[in-house]
């Protein structure tokens, strides 16, 4: 049976239009309509986060959080096998020895910041971690579980504590992401790295039981740990660093919460202030979205789970390819050309016909579409580095042409796919929301299938037990058992 439709609580995304001039801090007085220190949205978000109780969270939102956490654990276990992941694990083990927090899949116990760094990077290691729709730029599992599990294991938290911290962090982080209107990426920032530290700080601060004043400081400190550049997508190399962005966001959030707990301070207008996060990182923003629906609607309802090991902008096109293949019994060798129409972002940033490696390949819509024509896109092992050296796949990727649809917003990942076959037939398919999005959520069976695919190299019975315990996380007295 399908999970409940969570879209009804989704916060609307404002359209992105134009760009504002670059901001330079000066000694000018505050604008007349700018809130005085201590009275703005940063404080309101912190007050909400400190006050939210587990019993105030609807059952369907708790289930969404459990699904997201379950998904993230599997993604971490899968992500640890790659060379870039092993480098970060080794770094975390060196700098964090002697702690109580696990690095899943390694048997290692390290300090909380080191565990958060490793898990954030492993979650984002292979383009399978969860996001939101509308697209806020936030990656909930990577930021929130990475920090929450690390601090929860360090401090003896329960499963219910972790769930409450996860939802609380999501409510703040997703709203901050929406307020950016995704124009942080217009400046060259990688959105998850810029907003993730806020969510990680709130999740960690919730587990540390920070009051409103200290939670405000945690947000103020987290703002100065934001970062991550998109140059890897422009230069066509160095994409390992993309994985680091989520690790640093989770690590920065743990640092922010820990310092705030000790009395370290940060600016109380760190998000909305004249030299705050939104002005410094974004060409355009909407600070009103920071608190829109706060305490009434749950932004956590917008969390989506991926099915394919590729960038979110490719998901609708890849699903369309799968549906056309199944319906017409075709494969890549039957194809003359493919046309994909979507947003301007899809037709430019993600239009990479000849990716040099799998890291860039997963960011490329033409490559992902070509893989889906020849392989089973649901199997994460279909997206291996050998695919970038497969002559048939790369030849087809060069035949994928992309165009922008007039009026389609940057946040809209819908795709129109047209396949012209060698026999002259023309097949079309439009996908507006892929399976895994809030209005088309994965069923329990489908989530278990993904969990199994991602953890197939681990003992099957052990993985089944972990899945079941994660789906009953609110009953767990501690988190010590989650040390695979």
Average pLDDT over residues 456-479: 97
Q: What is the pLDDT of residues 144-182, one digit of tens each?
A: 999 999 999 999 999 999 999 999 999 999 999 999 999
469 within domain boundaries = no
Domain match, 213 and 361 both: no
Phi, psi torsion values for 457, nearest 5 degrees: -90, 0
Count of the separate structural domains present in the chain: 2
Q: Which of 260, 282, 304 is the last residue of a domain?
A: 304
Each residue of 243-278: b (16+ CB within 10 Å) or e? bbbbbbbbbbbbbbbbbbbeeeebbbbbbbbbebbb
286 within domain boundaries = yes
| Per-residue pLDDT at 378 | 95
The answer to whether the predicted template modeling score (pTM) of the entire model surpasses 0.75 is yes
DSSP calls for 344-361: HHHHHTT--SS-SSHHHH
Domain match, 259 and 184 both: yes
Average pLDDT over residues 341-355: 94
Q: Which domain holds residue 76?
A: 7-304
| Per-residue pLDDT at 39 | 56
Domain match, 191 and 69 both: yes
Q: What is the pLDDT of residues 213-249, one digit of tens each?
A: 999 999 999 999 999 999 988 887 898 999 999 999 9
Residue 15: CB atoms within 10 A of its CB come to 11
Phi, psi torsion values for 52, nearest 5 degrees: -60, 130
95 within domain boundaries = yes
Domain match, 248 and 380 both: no
233 within domain boundaries = yes
Domain match, 237 and 379 both: no
Q: What is the CATH number of the domain that holds 340?
A: 3.30.1330.120
Domain match, 333 and 268 both: no
Quick one: which of 396, 378, 393, 239 has its CA closest to 319? Answer: 378
- Structural tokens at position 424: 């002259």
Q: Are 8 and 61 in contact (CB under 8 A)?
A: no
Domain match, 246 and 353 both: no
Domain match, 285 and 173 both: yes
27 within domain boundaries = yes
Q: What is the CATH number of the domain that holds 231?
A: 1.10.4100.10
214 within domain boundaries = yes
Q: How far is CA 17 from the centre of its chain?
A: 24
Q: What is the pLDDT of residues 180-208, one digit of tens each?
A: 999 999 999 999 999 999 999 999 999 99
Domain match, 349 and 319 both: yes
């Amino acid at each position: 049976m399908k999970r409940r439709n969570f879209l009804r609580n989704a916060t609307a995304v404002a359209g992105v239009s134009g760009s504002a001039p670059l901001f330079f801090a000066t000694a000018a007085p505050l604008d007349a309509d700018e809130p005085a220190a201590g009275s703005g949205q940063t404080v309101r978000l912190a007050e909400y986060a400190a006050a939210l109780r587990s019993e105030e969270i609807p059952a369907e939102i708790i289930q969404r959080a459990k699904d997201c956490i379950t998904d993230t654990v599997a993604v971490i276990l899968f992500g640890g096998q790659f060379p870039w992941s092993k480098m970060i694990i080794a770094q975390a083990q060196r700098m964090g020895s002697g702690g109580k927090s696990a690095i899943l899949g390694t048997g290692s116990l390290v300090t909380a910041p080191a565990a958060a760094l490793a898990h954030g990077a492993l979650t984002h290691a292979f383009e399978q971690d969860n996001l939101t729709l509308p697209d806020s730029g936030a990656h909930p599992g990577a930021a929130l579980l990475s920090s929450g599990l690390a601090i929860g294991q360090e401090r003896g938290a329960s499963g219910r504590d972790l769930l409450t911290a996860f939802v609380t962090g999501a409510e703040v982080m997703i709203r901050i992401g929406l307020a950016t209107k995704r124009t942080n990426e217009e400046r060259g920032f990688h959105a998850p790295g810029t907003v993730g530290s806020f969510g990680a700080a709130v999740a960690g601060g919730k587990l540390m039981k920070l009051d409103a004043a200290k939670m405000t400081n945690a947000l103020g400190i987290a703002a100065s740990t934001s970062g991550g550049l998109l140059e890897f997508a422009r230069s066509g190399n160095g994409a390992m660093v993309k994985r680091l962005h989520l690790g640093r966001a989770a690590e920065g959030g743990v640092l922010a919460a820990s310092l705030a707990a000790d009395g370290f301070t940060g600016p109380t207008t760190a998000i909305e202030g004249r030299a705050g996060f939104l002005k410094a990182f974004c060409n355009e923003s909407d600070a009103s979205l920071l608190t829109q629906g706060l305490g009434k609607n749950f932004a956590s309802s917008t969390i989506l789970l991926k099915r394919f090991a590729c960038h979110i902008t490719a998901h609708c096109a890849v699903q369309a390819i799968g549906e056309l293949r199944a319906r017409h019994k075709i494969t890549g060798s039957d194809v003359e050309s493919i046309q994909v129409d979507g947003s301007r972002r899809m037709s430019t940033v993600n239009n990479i016909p000849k990716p040099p490696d799998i890291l860039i390949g997963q960011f490329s819509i033409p490559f992902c579409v070509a893989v889906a024509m020849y392989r089973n896109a649901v199997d994460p092992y279909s997206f291996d580095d050998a695919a970038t050296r497969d002559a048939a796949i790369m030849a087809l990727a060069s035949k994928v042409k992309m165009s922008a649809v007039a009026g389609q917003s940057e946040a809209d990942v819908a795709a129109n796919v047209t396949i012209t076959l060698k026999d002259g037939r023309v097949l079309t398919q439009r996908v507006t929301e892929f399976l895994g999005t809030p209005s088309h959520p994965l069923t329990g069976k489908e989530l278990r299938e993904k969990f199994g695919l991602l953890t197939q190299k681990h003992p099957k019975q052990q993985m089944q037990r972990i899945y079941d315990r994660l789906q009953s996380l609110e009953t767990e007295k501690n988190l010590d058992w989650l040390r695979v």
